[in-house]
Amino acid sequence: MKDYSPRPDLLADRVILVTGAGSGLGRAASLAYARHGATVALLGRDENRLEAVYDEILASGGPEPAMFPFDLGVADDRAFETLAGTLVHHLKRLDGILHSAHQFFSLTPLSLQTLEQWQTLMRVNLIAPFALTRACLPALRAAPSASVIFTGETHGHQPAAFWGGYAVAKAGLETLTHIWSEELGEAAPVRMNTLIPGQVATTLRSRTHPGLAPERLPQPADLMPFYLYLMGDDSLAVRGRIVECAA
């Protein structure tokens, strides 16, 4: 998959929603999807960052994106339903979602993690991807073929000390992927997978592994073959999978 070479029009005429689109892997994926023809719906808390990605896409000649400033940490069912309705109203369709937004505090023992921290970690990293996908499911079902990519984490896949609530939430995404894929069935127009980026030069990685020199790590752009493959129709048979970029 890392050697995958997508055709230039892989995502032509498609609408892809990317959460956490203002930075890191969400930003890189937004630019990659636009380069391959998609109209990207950019979602994030920081409007200035979204505007910067918006400008980058236009400067590169991609389809005009849409911006959705939105706080996943406080949204309720009504907010998610309104967001889904607004997106479809303005963009007319939805062909995929990349859940790249995340919340992380620090590496600490479970005995020092608070209930409030866990509630935030679960809400942003697990509950919001579920709730947003559920709200968008009617639009995704209406697409000829649609892909949902949840972003997992190495320490959610293989639990390790000090990762606490973040790892638990990310592990939950893997379970969510399996359950939802089984419920949808092989014939459904919507497929769901979890992608685990592994070690990559992002702000999160610099916080959790400060001793790793970023220039020695893969850059977000290096992982885009995985993101493009799972979003496009070349992966139609890939359903309910946990995909590790480092594998």
CATH number of the structural domain spanning residue 25 = 3.40.50.720
220 domain residue, yes or no = yes
Would you say 18 and 41 are in contact if contact means Cβ atoms under 8 Å apart?
yes
Hey, is 101 helix, strand or coil? Answer: coil
191 domain residue, yes or no = yes
Based on the structure, what is the number of domains in the chain? 1
**Which helix or strand (DSSP H or E) is residue 96 part of?**
strand 96-99
8 domain residue, yes or no = no
The distance of Cα 180 from the centroid of its chain, to the nearest Å, equals 16
Q: Taking Cα atoms as reference points, which of 185, 233, 227, 238 lies closest to residue 24?
A: 227
Residues of the chain with pLDDT under 70: 201-216, 247
Q: Taking Cα atoms as reference points, which of 192, 189, 197 lies closest to residue 222?
A: 197
3 domain residue, yes or no = no
2 domain residue, yes or no = no
The single residue listed with the structure tokens 């023809």 is: 37
83 domain residue, yes or no = yes
What DSSP designation does 92 have?
Answer: S
**Sign, Cα dihedral of 7, 13, 14, 19:** positive
Tell me what pLDDT residue 203 has: 61
Tell me what pLDDT residue 3 has: 84
Cα separation, 214 vs 60, whole angstroms: 26
Chain segment 176-224, per-residue pLDDT in tens:
999 999 999 998 999 999 999 987 766 665 555 555 555 667 788 999 9
Cα separation, 201 vs 160, whole angstroms: 20
- The domain of 170 spans 15-244
Tell me what pLDDT residue 136 has: 98
69 domain residue, yes or no = yes
Catalytic residue set: 166
4 domain residue, yes or no = no
Tell me what pLDDT residue 75 has: 97
pTM: 0.93
- Count Cβ atoms below 10 Å from residue 199 Cβ, excluding itself: 15
> What is the number of alpha carbons within 13 Å of residue 2 lying toward its C-beta?
11
Tell me what pLDDT residue 82 has: 98
